[in-house]
Amino acid sequence: MRKLQKMLMLTDGGYADLKKAAFACTLSNVSMILPFWVLTRFIMEMVKPFSGGEISWTTMWLLFGAGAAGAFLVYLCQRHEYEKTYVVSYTQSERTRVTVAEHIRRLPMSVFNSKDLSELTTNVMGDVANSEHVMSHIIPELIGNIISISAICVLLALYDWRMALAIFITVPLAFGIILLSRKIYDGVSKKHAAAKLAASGRVQEYIEGIKVIRACNMDGERFAALESALREMMRLAMAMEVGVGVFVTGATAVLQGGIGLAALVGATLLTGGQLGFVPLMVFLMIVVKIYAPVIVILTLLPELFYFQIGIRRMRDLLAIKPMTGDEEKELPNFTIVCEDVSFSYNKDANKDDERTISGLSVTIPAGSLTALVGPSGSGKSTVSRLVARFWDVDSGRITIGGVDVKTLDPERLMSYMSFVFQDVVLFNDTILGNIRIGNRDAADEQVLAAAKAARCDGFVGKLPDGYNTMLGENGATLSGGERQRISIARALLKNAPIVLLDEATASLDPENEASIQQAISTLIEGKTVLVIAHHLRTVMDADKIIVLDGGRLAEEGTGAELLARGGLFARLYQIQQESHGWSVGEEKSAH
């Protein structure tokens, strides 16, 4: 049982529940003996006239009563079995899903570079669903059947060991066939599981990119990858089912050969006067009944083997060490310092020119507005992610108030930070619920005040249910500016001392940009602010501008100082100023 606990990744509570479920299944199986006993006694009473005796109607009435009591007992035992198997399995599945989801939440972001979303979704949903099925349909029934069949075998052997041997001699042979086929089955199962993951990834890619697929008319051969993945999954599924079917059918045929063997042995004993007719009939009834749960076990074993693939996948995921750190440490101030920081998303990169950030040393003063600018791919967003400890630096260190962020628990660090990203993630909840993510304990009045400060009132007032309007999947019905304002409202509600703004207004129209700039002004008041911007004119009044190029510090200073210096910032600023005057008409006339 302890091995089962480890194999199924059960908590101590789940392990205790599994034992109860197995006991309940055993009790349910054993309760079926009473109807058999009643039926045997009933047959023995009915055949008395053929041997010169008389039927005892008192005994018959007692048997009717015992039969009714037996039926009620079977009902109670099977109801108890249901409660202890299905309810227990669903409870354990909930625990496992929460455990896996919580573990995923605490993993380093680097994990999500190596694992795609479909694999993680399979871990949380598919693998746990398989675990739920095993807990409810396989393990308790497997244990219960083994115990009850063993008990019946012993009882039959005490009555007549020859008939018991004839009935049960084919059982180990049948199990041997299934166990010997495991190596072949495991190979096909692993390929099928990998094909399912690949197909799931392709389906997800297809759905996420449906707008591009329709716009570019990517049908037929142009989207052959999805069809190929689905066909491969179908081929391996068929191969696996055929393989399982052949071995299970073979094992079942060998097992049911015991019926003929039991009839042959019984007939021999009957003609030799060593076994009575009624006991023979009882043995033959039992052999038909006893093989049904054995066949179930033979059918369930391949499912148990397949299930272990998902368990290994979950175990590998849970073996990844989450980010940890001090959960109590306070930050004395909010000055952010990068000291000779180097980082690469590709951990095999050794050369400086292969790193995303290389030897960066900058200071972001507390209470200031500091802008990160530079060409595309210069490492601006990476710096903000390292400050937030989404990733850990490869070398050097980042400190806040003199405290190395690597020594802080990520959740503790997050309590000091608010974020406004260019790509806003909204959940299938009300607008009020989406804003409350910034502070789960906030009262409605506080949420509404944050929403008002973020200029949400204008568009929310036009919605049918106001702030109680359900947004649907990722708030697809809202515009980019409206989604951005909800994100700012979250940050306002959190009221953290450090604010990270990553391209918050990069893709907005002028009207929305002006409105959101006003909301951001309210958000950043009195905070340590790190803003990433492509539109350099929006950060000209920043207290400090840090210019990155190829992951290195190119220059830093105020906007006026950098323009006067005539370096990279001045060149980028000049290019943007020239692009503002460009129009389609001018481009056409130039051609």
Q: What is the pLDDT of residues 122-158, one digit of tens each?
A: 766 777 777 777 777 677 777 777 777 787 788 788 8
Residue 83 confidence (pLDDT) = 65
Residue 220 has pLDDT above 60, yes or no: no
pTM recorded for the entire structure? 0.67
Residue 501 has pLDDT above 80, yes or no: yes
Residue 377 has pLDDT above 60, yes or no: yes
Confidence of residue 401 (pLDDT cuts 50, 70, 90): very high
Confidence of residue 557 (pLDDT cuts 50, 70, 90): very high
Confidence of residue 545 (pLDDT cuts 50, 70, 90): very high
- The model's pLDDT over 280-321, given as tens digits with 9 standing for 90+, comes to 777 777 777 778 778 877 887 787 777 777 777 777 788 888
Tell me whether residue 577 is exposed, middle or buried, using C-beta atoms within 10 angstroms of its C-beta: 0 to 12, 13 to 18, 19 or more. Answer: exposed
Confidence of residue 352 (pLDDT cuts 50, 70, 90): low
Average pLDDT over residues 517-541: 81
pLDDT-wise least confident of 78-92, 417-431, 454-468:
78-92
| Orientation angle between helical segments 480-494 and 444-453, nearest 10 degrees | 130
Confidence of residue 555 (pLDDT cuts 50, 70, 90): very high
Residue type, 192: H
Q: Give bridge partners of residue 203 from the DSSP assignment.
A: none
Q: Percent of the chain having pLDDT more than 70? A: 81
Confidence of residue 544 (pLDDT cuts 50, 70, 90): very high
Residue 515 has pLDDT above 70, yes or no: no
What is the token pair recorded at 353? Answer: 């020119």
Residue 577 confidence (pLDDT) = 80
Confidence of residue 589 (pLDDT cuts 50, 70, 90): very low
Q: Check residues 36 and 164 and name the one with the higher pLDDT.
A: 164
Residue type, 322: P
- The model's pLDDT over 173-210, given as tens digits with 9 standing for 90+, comes to 888 888 888 877 777 888 887 888 788 777 777 777 77
User: What's the distance, Cα to Cα, between the start and end of the chain in Å?
Assistant: 80
Residue 583 confidence (pLDDT) = 46
DSSP string for residues in 64-123: HHHHHHHHHHHHHHHHHHHIIIIIHHHHHHHHHHHHHHHHHHTS-TTHHHHS-HHHHHII
What is the token pair recorded at 127? Answer: 């693998």
Residue 465 confidence (pLDDT) = 86
Answer yes or no: are the C-beta atoms of 267 and 205 closer than 8 Å: no
Q: Check residues 418 and 219 and name the one with the higher pLDDT.
A: 418
- The mean pLDDT of the chain is 79
Burial 95-111 (b: 16+ CB within 10 A, else e): ebbebbeebbeebbeee
Average pLDDT over residues 332-346: 90
Using DSSP's 3-state secondary structure scheme, residue 10 falls into: coil
Tell me whether residue 218 is exposed, middle or buried, using C-beta atoms within 10 angstroms of its C-beta: 0 to 12, 13 to 18, 19 or more. Answer: middle
Residue 315 confidence (pLDDT) = 79
Q: Which residue has 């091995």 as its token pair?
A: 3
DSSP string for residues in 507-547: T--HHHHHHHHHHHHHHHTTSEEEEE-S-GGGGTT-SEEEE
Average pLDDT over residues 469-479: 75
Residue 339 has pLDDT above 90, yes or no: yes
φ, ψ for residue 542, nearest 5 deg: -65, 150
Confidence of residue 511 (pLDDT cuts 50, 70, 90): low
Average pLDDT over residues 481-510: 79
- The model's pLDDT over 226-270, given as tens digits with 9 standing for 90+, comes to 778 888 888 888 887 787 778 888 888 888 888 888 889 888 888
How far, CA to CA in Å, does 379 sit from each of 307, 406, 506, 532, 548? 43, 20, 17, 10, 7
Q: Please give the Cα distance from 583 to 386 (Å, whole number).
A: 38
Residue 546 confidence (pLDDT) = 93
Average pLDDT over residues 410-434: 86
Q: Check residues 536 and 78 and name the one with the higher pLDDT.
A: 536
Q: Please give the Cα distance from 4 to 21 (Å, whole number).
A: 13
pLDDT-wise least confident of 8-12, 70-74, 504-508, 543-547:
504-508
